[in-house]
């Protein structure tokens, strides 16, 4: 059979309802990794749902316990056709965030798929059960089209703790490095740049949260009696923030900036839109780093955001100087950022402006490194050509996603080129009530993934 046959078989899986049936079965599992009582469901999902489904596709599977206490297990599966063939690692996560029962709108609930027009509602439809189910369905279509063969080897890693920060993922990849050895990672998570714009992203920004804190005294004092002669912690913390980022969102500390943006990254981001969706906020074109486009600011640069701040009681303020003040700021950073220098840079800046008494507290021991595959990589050119052939138009290529994924585990520990092909969009309701998958995006995803998998087995890979 032909490549076109493989794509046709893949899209038929959504047309005849099979994809919906499989996904409905998987959504019904209450795999909430944030709920300790659901720990048995995390294991059962792998044992009772995934292992039989993968066995039907010719995979052998095993469940591996997590080295981290109270964290979900992993499934490692493989379908090996022959030594010397290209090997792809496919990744997905079967855990979901809390179902948030009672907060979905009327007629919807998290553990049962409800179809309304082009939208398939249910927890995990977008993040991530729907996305890896599409990829496995595309593999099945290629196996059928090639009459039982793929022409390459596949390994599949499914984790059950991504929604709580992927505890143990780095350790399992280190311990199972030989079992997970591959030529490339092709996985799906996160959103497209826009619902109608096929997207590849090649890595992930990372984030580090920092608490700025000043405690002056044990209790508040009347502002009329003491204002002007005692330090105001809120004023000090506000000035600490203002010394790090200005009123236009521009970084003021060189140590928090990334290295110069590579030309290949700038070229990949040229002309890419940001926002514009029906529920997207309006872009503030004058906000953020100077001389960068919105796409460059979002995907190619570092940003410092204030996530929370507090002093006194803003709902019911009293005439008193508060005793303490706290703010939490977050640095979203791209590849090449000196993560070890983040805290020292903030500390040095506050000392420089006379705020030595404001404490700078890292909220995690060590941030994961940001990653990106060079957009000029032969694997990227190969993937772009494949998607373009399948859909008749090229995908957007993001050097990295603006959010955070555990891509460093695959890029740095397993040493793989990493290509992510998201099948969702920003307004999908992920991590919120009313999560949904768009059927037109799913159908297009089935075709482009079948094309990628067909081309992997056709020879000529990088």
The pLDDT, as a whole number, for residue 276 is: 83
Q: What domains does the chain contain, in order, with CATH numbers?
A: 3-204+370-456 (3.40.630.10), 206-267+287-362 (3.30.70.360)
The H or E element spanning position 381 is helix 378-391
The pLDDT, as a whole number, for residue 110 is: 98
The pLDDT, as a whole number, for residue 279 is: 78
Tokens 């399948």 identify what position?
Answer: 390
Contact 231, 221 (CB under 8 A): no
**pLDDT tens track for 88-104:** 999 999 999 999 999 99
Residues in the chain: 462
Q: Which of 149, 141, 172, 148 is nearest to 62 (CA)?
A: 172
**pLDDT tens track for 306-343:** 999 999 999 999 999 999 999 999 999 999 999 999 99
The DSSP letter of residue 412 is I
List of residues 6+ apart from 204 with CB closer than 8 A = 370, 371, 372, 400, 401, 403, 404, 405, 406, 407, 408
The pLDDT, as a whole number, for residue 366 is: 76
List of residues 6+ apart from 288 with CB closer than 8 A = 248, 249, 250, 294, 297, 301, 303
The pLDDT, as a whole number, for residue 341 is: 94
Q: Which of 56, 136, 154, 125 is nearest to 446 (CA)?
A: 136
Ranges under pLDDT 50 in the chain: none
The pLDDT, as a whole number, for residue 364 is: 77
Reported pTM: 0.93
């Amino acid at each position: 059979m032909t490549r076109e046959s493989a794509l046709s078989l893949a899209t038929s899986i959504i047309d005849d309802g099979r994809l919906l049936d499989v996904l409905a079965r998987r959504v019904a599992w209450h795999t909430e990794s944030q709920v300790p009582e659901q720990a048995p469901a995390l294991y059962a999902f792998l044992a009772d749902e995934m292992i039989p489904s993968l066995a039907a596709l010719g995979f052998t599977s095993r469940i591996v316990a997590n080295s981290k206490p109270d964290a979900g297990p992993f499934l490692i599966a493989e379908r090996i056709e022959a030594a010397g063939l290209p090997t792809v690692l496919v990744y997905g996560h079967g855990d979901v965030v809390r179902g948030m029962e009672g907060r979905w709108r009327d007629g919807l609930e998290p553990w049962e798929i409800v179809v309304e027009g082009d939208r398939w509602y249910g927890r995990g439809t977008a993040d991530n059960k729907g996305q890896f189910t599409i990829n496995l369905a595309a593999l099945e279509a290629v196996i059928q089209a090639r009459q039982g063969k793929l022409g390459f080897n596949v390994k599949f890693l499914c984790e059950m703790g991504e929604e709580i920060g992927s505890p143990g993922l780095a350790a399992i990849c280190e311990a199972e490095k030989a079992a997970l050895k591959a030529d490339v990672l092709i996985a799906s998570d996160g959103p497209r740049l826009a619902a109608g714009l096929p997207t590849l992203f090649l890595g992930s920004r990372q984030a580090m949260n920092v608490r700025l804190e000043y405690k002056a005294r044990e209790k508040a004092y009347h502002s009329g009696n003491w204002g002007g002669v005692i330090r105001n912690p809120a004023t000090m913390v506000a000035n600490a923030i203002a010394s790090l980022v200005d009123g236009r969102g521009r970084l003021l500390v060189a140590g928090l900036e990334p290295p110069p943006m590579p030309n290949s990254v700038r070229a990949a981001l040229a002309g890419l839109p940001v926002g514009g969706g029906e529920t997207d906020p309006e872009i503030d074109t004058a906000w953020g780093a100077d001389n960068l486009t919105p796409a460059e600011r979002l995907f190619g640069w570092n940003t410092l955001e204030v996530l929370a701040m507090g002093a006194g009681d803003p709902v019911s303020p009293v005439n008193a100087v508060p005793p303490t003040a706290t703010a939490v700021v977050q640095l979203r950073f791209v590849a090449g950022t000196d993560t070890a220098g983040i805290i020292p840079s903030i500390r040095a800046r506050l000392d420089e402006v006379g705020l030595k008494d404001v404490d700078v507290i890292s909220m995690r021991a060590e941030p994961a490194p940001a990653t990106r595959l060079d957009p000029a990589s032969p694997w990227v050119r190969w993937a772009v050509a494949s998607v373009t052939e399948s859909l008749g138009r090229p995908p957007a290529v993001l050097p990295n996603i603006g959010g955070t994924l555990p891509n460093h585990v695959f890029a740095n520990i397993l040493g793989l080129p990493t290509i992510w092909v998201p099948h969702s969009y920003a307004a999908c309701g992920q991590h919120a009530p009313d999560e949904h998958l768009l059927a037109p995006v799913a159908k297009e995803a089935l075709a482009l993934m079948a094309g990628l998998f067909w081309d992997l087995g056709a020879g000529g890979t990088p």
